[in-house]
Chains A and B, each alone.
Chain A
Amino acid sequence: MQEVMKKRAIELLSDGTVAKVIGWMPGEFSYDMTPAVFTTAEEIESNFVYNDFCGANVSKYVMREQKKASDAKILVFLKPCDTYSFNQLTAEHKIVRENVYVIGVGCDGMADVEKIKAAGIEGITGIESDGDKFIVKTVYGDETIARADALAERCAACKSKKLTVYDEIIGEDGEVVENSGRFDLVAKLEAMSADERFEFWRNELSRCIRCNACRNVCPACTCEQCVFDNPKSGIDQKAAADSFEENMFHIIRAFHVAGRCTDCGECSRVCPQHIPLHLLNRKFIKDINELYGDYQAGDDTESKHPLTSFTYDDAEPSVIHERGNE
Chain B
Amino acid sequence: MMLYLAKDKLDVFFEKASEKLNVYVPVDNTNGSAYRKWTPGTVVSKGLHTTKSAKDFFFPQTENLVEFKMSGKAIEIIDPRRETEDYAVFGVRACDVRSFGILDKVFLSDPVDTYYKNRREHGLILGLSCGRPAETCFCGTFGIDAAEPMADVDFTEADNGYYIKANTEKGEAFVASLGDIFEDRDAAPAEEAKAKTREVLKKLPLSNLTTDGFGGDKLDELFDAAGWADLSEACIGCGTCTFVCPTCQCYDIRDYDTGHGIKRFRCWDSCMFSDFTKMAHGNPRLTQKERFRQRFMHKLVYFPANNDGEYGCVGCGRCLASCPISMNIVKVMKKLAKEDSGK
Name the contact of B239 in the complex, choosing from A138, A207, A211 (C-beta under 8 A): A211
Residue of B nearest to A32 (CB): B326
Q: 20 A-B residue contacts at CB 8 Å?
A: A27-B326, A34-B327, A35-B325, A122-B132, A123-B132, A123-B204, A138-B135, A139-B133, A209-B52, A209-B243, A211-B240, A211-B270, A238-B268, A239-B61, A239-B268, A241-B265, A270-B240, A272-B51, A272-B243, A274-B32
Q: Is B300 engaged at the interface, CB distance under 8 Å to the other chain? A: no
A186 proximal to B (CB < 8 A): no
Contact between A28 and B330, CB atoms less than 8 A apart: yes
Which residues of A are interface residues toward B (Cβ below 8 A)?
27-29, 32-37, 56, 61, 114, 117-118, 122-125, 138-140, 204, 207, 209-213, 215-217, 229, 238-241, 269-270, 272-276
Q: A117-B31, A239-B62 are in contact. Are A139 and B135 (CB under 8 A)?
A: yes
Checking A34, A124, A217 against B326 with a beta-carbon cut-off of 8 angstroms, the contacting residue is: A34
Q: Which of B30, B265, B269, B327 has the largest number of chain A CB atoms within 10 A?
A: B30
Asked if A238 meets B267 with Cβ closer than 8 Å, knowing A123-B135, A213-B324, the reply is: yes
Chain B 228-258 interface 0/1 with A at a Cβ cutoff of 8 Å (1 = within)? 0010011011111001100000001000000
Is B135 touching A124 in the complex (CB atoms < 8 A)?
yes
Q: Which of B230, B244, B326 contacts A272 (CB 8 A)?
A: B244
Chain B residue at smallest Cβ distance from A124: B135
**If A217-B236, A272-B240 touch, does A241 touch B230 (CB 8 Å cutoff)?**
no
* A contact residues around B324 at 8 Å (CB): 56, 213, 216-217, 269-270
Q: Is the CB of B135 within 8 A of A34?
A: no
**Could you tell me the distance between the alpha carbons of A78 and B203 in the complex, rounded to whole angstroms?**
37
Query: Which residues of chain A are near B230, meaning CB under 8 Å?
Result: 36
Q: Mark B299-343, 1 if CB is under 8 A from A, else 0.
A: 000000000000000000000101011110011000000000000
A123 touches B133 (CB 8 A): yes
CA distance A138 to B331 in the complex (A): 20
Distance in Å from the Cβ of A242 to the closest Cβ of chain B?
Answer: 9
Contact B234 A29 (CB under 8 A): no
**Smallest beta-carbon distance B190→chain A, Å:** 21
In the bound assembly, the distance between CA atoms of A213 and B234 in angstroms comes to 13
In the assembled complex, which residues on chain B have CB atoms less than 8 Å from the CB atom of A238? Answer: 252, 267-269, 273
A309 smallest CB distance to B (angstroms): 31
Residues in A with CB closer than 8 Å to B330 are: 28
Task: Specify which chain B residues have a CB less than 8 angstroms from the CB of A273 in the assembled complex.
Answer: 29-30, 32, 51
- Determine whether the beta carbon of B236 is less than 8 Å from that of A34: no
Residues of chain A lying within 8 A (CB to CB) of residue B136:
29
Task: Digitize B8-47: 1 where CB-to-A-CB distance is under 8 Å, 0 elsewhere.
Answer: 0000000000000000000001111010000000000000
Which partner residue on chain B sits nearest A269 by CB separation? B324
Complex Cα distance, B328 from A32, in Å, reads: 10
Across the interface, which residues of A come within 8 angstroms of B237, CB to CB?
Answer: 216
For residues 264 through 282 of chain B, which have their beta carbon under 8 Å from a beta carbon of chain A? 265, 267-270, 273-275
B residues sitting closer than 8 Å to A (CB atoms) are 29-32, 34, 48, 51-52, 61-62, 132-136, 200, 203-206, 230, 233-234, 236-240, 243-244, 252, 265, 267-270, 273-275, 320, 322, 324-327, 330-331
Complex Cα–Cα for A61 and B132 (A): 37
Contact between A241 and B62 (Cβ–Cβ < 8 Å)?
yes
Which A residues lie within 8 Å of B233 (CB)? Answer: 35-37
Question: Given the complex, which residues of A lie within 8 Å of B325, measured CB to CB?
Answer: 34-35, 56
For residue A51, give the distance in angstroms from its CB to the closest CB of chain B.
13
CB distance from A249 to the nearest CB of B (A): 13
Bound together, the chains give a CA A139 to CA B275 distance in angstroms of 41
* Neighbouring A residues of B252 by C-beta, 8 Å: 238
Shortest beta-carbon distance, B342 to chain A, in Å? 14
Q: In the bound complex, how far is the Cα of B29 from the Cα of A62, in angstroms?
A: 35
- In the complex, the answer to whether B206 meets A28 with C-beta atoms within 8 Å is yes
Chain B residues, CB < 8 A from A216:
236-238, 324
A201 to B206, CA, bound (A): 38
The interface residues of chain B lying within 8 Å CB-to-CB of A211 are: 238-240, 243-244, 270
Q: Choose among A32, A114, A217 the residue with the greatest number of B CB atoms under 10 Å from its CB.
A: A32
Alpha-carbon gap, A217 to B244, bound state (A) = 18
Q: From residue A257, how far is it (CB to closest CB) to chain B in Å?
A: 16
Chain A hits for B265, CB < 8 A: 241
Cβ-defined partner of B135 (8 Å) among A29, A36, A209, A270: A29
Give CA–CA (A141, B317) in the complex, Å.
21
Of all chain B residues, the one with the shortest Cβ separation from A43 is: B230
Q: With A211-B239, A216-B237, A272-B240 known to touch, is A139 a contact of B203 (CB < 8 Å)?
A: yes
Q: Which 10 A-B residue pairings sit nearest by Cβ, starting from the closest?
A: A270-B324, A32-B326, A239-B267, A213-B238, A272-B322, A35-B234, A216-B236, A211-B240, A211-B239, A274-B31
Question: Considering the chains assembled together, what is the distance between the CA atoms of A138 and B132 in angstroms?
Answer: 11
Distance in angstroms between the alpha carbons of A211 and B29 in the assembled complex:
18
A36 and B234 contacting across the interface, CB-CB below 8 Å: yes
Beyond A32-B320, A118-B31, A122-B48, list 15 extra A-B contacts (CB 8 Å): A28-B331, A29-B205, A35-B325, A36-B230, A117-B31, A123-B132, A139-B135, A140-B132, A207-B30, A210-B243, A216-B238, A229-B275, A241-B267, A272-B322, A274-B32
Contact partner of B234 (CB less than 8 A), chosen from A34, A139, A239, is A34
Output the least CB separation between B85 and chain A (Å): 22
Query: How far, in angstroms, from A275 to B31 measured CA to CA in the complex?
Result: 10
Are B31 and A114 touching (Cβ within 8 A)? yes
Contact partners of B32 in chain A: CB under 8 A: 273-274
Contacts of B206 in A (CB 8 A): 28
